[in-house]
Amino acid sequence: MELTNIGTIKDVMSRNGFTFSKALGQNFLINPTVCPKIAELGGCKPGTAAIEIGTGVGVLTKELALRCDKVLAIEIDERLKPVLAETLEEYDNIDIVFADILKTDLSALIAEKLPGYDEIVVCANLPYYITSPVIMKLLEERPPIRSVTVMVQKEAADRLCAKMGTRECGAVTAAVNYYSEPKMLFRVNRGSFIPAPNVDSAVIRLDIPDKPRYTVSDEKLFFKIVRASFAQRRKQLLNPLSAALGIPKPELAEMLGKCGIRQTARPEELKMEDIVALCETIADKK
Ligand code: SAM
């Protein structure tokens, strides 16, 4: 079945009484070049298993199934059950779980559904209303996955893949860099979807190293510093950090100096190494 053909999609949808849900971020891919590219660049190959979040009518699911040994897909919308039974009928290596990804214990699900797979990758065209929470869940919960290759809105992609120490970065940039190596892969225009969204998209890949990229003695403190630093991205760091951490300004200024961070520095100037150094300096004083 040609799942990028608008006629085919409309036909299978109407036969099964399915209509798009805007609330669930249902913009389905109809550009035939995009899904094979996501699967290839996402590391799908024999011996690997892929996890997909949000199947839609199965256009990407199918490309993952063609390249990987096994596909585990998590889809929230049970109305897609009969649709997928038709569109993915010929593939016997796809397991679809109907659940909310944000309420799913992914490590437990992997242990149950993908036992014995060392190479597990995530590939998805993410529902845009939960881009950041899904990405943070995939990184923070540390399920046994090698990489996350996802389509997100272009603006989110720019923020996630921004270089630390530039104006484009935010708290999520620091968080993503802590756990992974982000890379911008390619841009996808809005006409590649049905219905077409109002903005363009991009595919990014987050490679998750075997060993953590950075080591801090207190992860909670690290993320508290990140959140407080970037809460007001154009303001100087000293005031919000002092308030959030409960450290008097003169003392904090001294700590910043010790880490080579100017007292008047703004969050956009921070490198990962600066935040790590500050975290360790504050942790030492506790
Ligand atoms: N992969 C398909 C494609 O590329 O055409 C569909 C992508 S569409 C942007 C997002 C999909 O995620 C929809 O099928 C939607 O129902 C599903 N979805 C939305 N919220 C979800 C959630 N919390 N958990 C799992 N799936 C979700």
Q: Which pLDDT score, from 0 to 100, does residue 285 have?
A: 82
Rounded CA separation 254/111 (Å): 48
Rounded CA separation 66/132 (Å): 28
Please report, in tens digits, the pLDDT of each residue of the chain (286 residues total): 899 999 999 999 999 999 999 999 999 999 999 999 999 999 999 999 999 999 999 999 999 999 999 999 999 999 999 999 999 999 999 999 999 999 999 999 999 999 999 999 999 999 999 999 999 999 999 999 999 999 999 999 999 999 999 999 999 999 999 999 999 999 999 999 999 999 999 999 999 999 889 999 999 999 999 999 999 888 899 999 999 999 999 999 999 999 999 989 999 999 999 999 999 999 998 7
Nearest-CA residue for atom 18 of ligand 1:
54
Q: What is the 3-state secondary structure (H, E, C) of the chain?
A: CCCCCHHHHHHHHHHCCCCCCCCCCCCEECCCCHHHHHHHHCCCCCCCEEEEECCCCCHHHHHHHHHCCEEEEEECCHHHHHHHHHHCCCCCCEEEEECCHHHCCHHHHHHHHCCCCCCEEEEEECCHHHHHHHHHHHHHCCCCCCEEEEEEEHHHHHHHCCCCCCCCCCHHHHHHHHHCEEEEEEEECHHHEECCCCCCEEEEEEECCCCCCCCCCCHHHHHHHHHHHHHCCCCCCHHHHHHHHCCCHHHHHHHHHHCCCCCCCCHHHCCHHHHHHHHHHHHHHC
100 C-alpha to center of ligand 1: Å? 10
The token duo for 33 is 């070049």
User: What length is written for the chain?
Assistant: 286
Q: Do domains 6-207 and 219-285 have the same CATH topology?
A: no
The CATH architecture of the domain made up of 6-207 is: 3-Layer(aba) Sandwich (3.40)
Tell which one of 5, 9, 26 to mutate to probe ligand 1, the residue whose CB is within 8 A of the most ligand atoms: 26
Nearest-CA residue for atom 23 of ligand 1:
100
127 C-alpha to center of ligand 1: Å? 5
The token duo for 86 is 């038709």
Q: Which pLDDT score, from 0 to 100, does residue 76 have?
A: 98
Domain residue ranges in the chain: 6-207, 219-285
Rounded CA separation 241/259 (Å): 15
Could you tell me if residue 56 is left (phi over 0), alpha (psi between -120 and 50 degrees) or otherwise beta?
left
Contacts of residue 250, defined as CB under 8 A and 6 or more positions apart, other chains included, come to none
Token pair 């209509």: residue: 19
Rounded CA separation 68/48 (Å): 5
75 C-alpha to center of ligand 1: Å? 6
Q: Which pLDDT score, from 0 to 100, does residue 216 have?
A: 96
Cβ proximity of 82 and 12 under 8 Å: no
Instruction: Compute and round to an integer the Cα radius of gyration of the chain.
Output: 21
Tell which one of 60, 77, 132, 134 to mutate to probe ligand 1, the residue whose CB is within 8 A of the most ligand atoms: 77
pTM: 0.95
- 45: Cα within 13 Å, side-chain hemisphere: 6
Q: Which pLDDT score, from 0 to 100, does residue 54 have?
A: 98
Tell which one of 27, 71, 125 to mutate to probe ligand 1, the residue whose CB is within 8 A of the most ligand atoms: 125
Q: Which residues pair with 75 in a beta bridge?
A: 98
Binding pocket residue ranges, ligand 1, CB within 6 Å: 24-29, 53-56, 59-60, 74-77, 100-102, 125, 127, 130
219-285 has which fold? Helicase, Ruva Protein; domain 3 (1.10.8)
Q: Which residues pair with 147 in a beta bridge?
A: 121, 207
Using alpha carbons, list the distances in angstroms from residue 231 to 38, 55, 153, 198, 234: 33, 34, 22, 27, 9
Residue 121 dihedral angles phi and psi, to the nearest 5°: -120, 150
Rounded CA separation 185/48 (Å): 21
